[in-house]
Structure 1
């Protein structure tokens, strides 16, 4: 059970897939990214439990990507077939693509699975986005203020669309072009979903989430978003109505090492805070980190389990906040801004430091006032 999805903003398509594969053969002992505490009690009575981790979205050619959900054997088979067949065509058209897909479905077992294929072609100096989904009645479609189109399938489809349609507070740097804008909005949207999942674990009931990949078209080729970090903060509003200093609770980091996605999850239990007029630095005094190798369906991970963990230092960060609010609903803003506004530095078995610009926290404090005024 899983999730694959597509969003379109400013005519820019983004393909999203989660990383957890659940099955009846899964185990409550399987490490699960995205929870602050033990999840045993949440999993015990579920029909499906986390079983493995693998990638569900793929770049097949510079102008074609695909997302898969469902039965592992069926997914591997169609992926292998398409990797071979699409190489035969110098100019792959949408008509040819649909012929290949329909032919495969008619000749092979695919009743337990679903796919999305997105092809980009160029006509009169304009890019044309063509999307094929199967089976059509298994896909849920919607729109929102942020996205012209949203479609999703898998066990998490309804919950994903509901999350994307929510009007949430977010902040990004001024965007140059539709592509940058679409990427930033999708990243803040995923941050909002991460925040919800970490604190409620509602996604476990529908067997999806845990982590996400994202594919985008950069005006030349489809690419996977290669490295990123999410930081989840928790905090509260005081009786004076002011936002108290929030604290980081969890860091997610992903980066591709060759074809293998290494997904790190760091739970923060105790921090020391240092501040100056420009920034706040959180040093983790107690934390627990896990790392997960997430290979493609058709590639075996070359990393022994003990070698999953990698140090990292990145400014490519989004942050999400869950603020307990006595004046209304919890406040859940998110942000992705360029430059040195947020930095995460992690050294395996040594240290974790998170630096955040004071101006970002002040902007959220101002947004909180507007949020409560509307409640």
Structure 2
């Protein structure tokens, strides 16, 4: 049993659901449709690989009828959804749409539903025209749709897909042209159009659509070339093509050529790869990070995980330190400053130079009216000043 087949498909189905919440809030019908088609496609592939692991038993016939038709519709659904998305993006980027009204939104949603779901249903109905028998069962891969390989099959199955892909690429090219033409004022233009898109979201959607269309083009062309490589069968009549319609083809692995087996194995993985591509374009944006944070908060509350409290770093205010000087009254005839007291108050404060006690011991007599100037401005005589004789006097 190939255990990697169901595991890979289930993982891809889970990944494609990760961007669902913010696309649901945006009511973006094309992206929601892509999520739905990819999710159910991966689930069906996973179930098929489990039921028919190392087996070719003809079981679950109704399931196979539904699964094979869904596979046919899914091959048309992805190009159709990307086409709707590119049409909407091109309309926003151009000057044709100034503002989006409520009526315009309703009409656009109806058009998106018709393209994303109506066109695949039409593709399923047209496939019945070239459905030679009920379905096929391939060992390890399960049921696959059966197609009568003819000119009618090319016109009804593969050509419509290529037409939708080409239209998508044309609208994507026009959108990129408008984007780069107005790249300097594009954010303001999106605000003027009353759109919920930002330039980063716009470019992400556009890149996703272009990447998916190149991938779909490669798969469609390669599948058509390998399927029709063995030659086309003649279209004789409706009755001839649908004769023995209830037949179920069975293909054990031992009877399948190696090249055909490898291609079948690759075709299985194309659907999970497409889902991973879609996930990668939306899993690392700003919206995704917000959703991850919200989910982690819910899980933390459910599991009762305490939240880390970050220590609050208070800013230390700068308080200037000023020396405090005690003034002591020694006599009634004046004021005296005790230099020793001052020096004791200045410990670890602003240093004073010179550091001698006599420098700040000047005695100022009061004004007696005999001198012709104010004694407050009388300076000490040079004989009273004390200067250090050597470096030890500085102490």
Output the TM-score relative to the length of structure 1.
Answer: 0.21
Q: Greater helix percent: which structure?
A: 2
Output the TM-score relative to the length of structure 2.
Answer: 0.20
From the CA coordinates, give the structure whose radius of gyration is larger.
2
Q: Greater strand percent: which structure?
A: 1
